Amino acid sequence: MAQAEALLTVRDIHTYYGDSYVLQGLSLALREGQIVAILGRNGMGKTTLIRSVAGLTPPRSGDILLRGEPITGARSYDIARRGVGLVPQGRRIFTSLTVRENLLLPASVLAGGRRGGPDEGPPEWDLDEVLDQFPQLKARINNLGGALSGGEQQMLAIGRALMRNPDLILMDEPSEGLSPRLVEQVGDIMTTLKKRNHAILLVEQNIGMALAIADYVYVLSVGKFVFEGPPSELTANAEVIDRHLGVTGSEQVA
Ligand SMILES: Nc1ncnc2c1ncn2[C@@H]1O[C@H](COP(=O)(O)OP(=O)(O)OP(=O)(O)O)[C@@H](O)[C@H]1O
Ligand SMILES: [Mg+2]
């Protein structure tokens, strides 16, 4: 059954920057429509994991499979075309293009993503639907990306990824630098995306938000997973929280 097959499988990957050995044997699995959260303090390798999956910093060994097919070593644009969207850390929208251009450009340059059709689930995202989802963007459609607030830029980064109709969305700290109200909105958006059968690999330092929406959680520490399980198991594990997620971690969970 397609339901049971993993959408993304990461098997024992080892990723380096030159001689610097960062990811030291990570394995994980993510099914269609699932939200899997990766938690960990600064510098533990969260972004490197996202970059490994996206093909930006390919692992030196190990396997990455999309719907059972190997994508290890594939070019990043090829991985994107096969249905993997990226919402990078720090948004990285085009500041000198308008909101409309930001949304339309990647979709037109890089066709691909989810195939439409009767068995392919909900309809694809288009400009109207993205703007309905993000009223803040609709109101600022002709403004430059650089003129948006941090929250609006985050919505734009998510909207831009959706325009390619990805099956899997890689989100790198989408709540970083946002007010609690906006963090809540980002969490709500992810829940909406999950309902529309998008899978999300979510990297976060906002533990409370991640645990509220994730189906499964991994804790990353110095390039290795030191915990994996459902959110309730992590909430009950004060030792892992204090040791690997820090004092702020237990405060956020409480
Ligand atoms: N381009 C690079 N070249 C060399 N080392 C790097 C590079 N990018 C990251 N690193 C190192 O790899 C390790 C993991 O970095 P990474 O960015 O994956 O951490 P992170 O968990 O995403 O941190 P943060 O929460 O601060 O975003 C760190 O020690 C970092 O200094
Ligand atoms: Mg990072």
**Residue spans per domain, the chain:** 6-94+165-253
> What is the arrangement of strands in the sheet containing 61-66, beginning at the earlier edge strand?
20-31, 6-17, 61-66, 69-70
CATH architecture of 6-94+165-253: 3-Layer(aba) Sandwich (3.40)
Q: pLDDT, tens digit, for every residue of 9-56?
A: 999 999 999 999 999 999 999 999 999 999 999 999 999 999 999 999
Q: What share of the chain is helix, strand, coil (3-state, %, to 5)?
A: 40, 25, 35
Q: pLDDT, tens digit, for every residue of 96-130?
A: 999 999 999 876 555 555 544 444 555 589 999 99
Tell whether ligand 1 has an atom less than 6 A from the beta carbon of residue 19: no
Give me the residues paired with residue 98 across strands: 144
How many other C-beta atoms are found inside a 10 Å radius of the C-beta of residue 167?
22
Nearest residue (CA) to ligand 1, atom 14: 45
Tell whether ligand 1 has an atom less than 6 A from the beta carbon of residue 102: no
Which pTM does this prediction carry?
0.91
**Residue of 16, 17, 26, 205 with the most ligand 1 atoms within 8 Å of its CB, for mutation:** 17
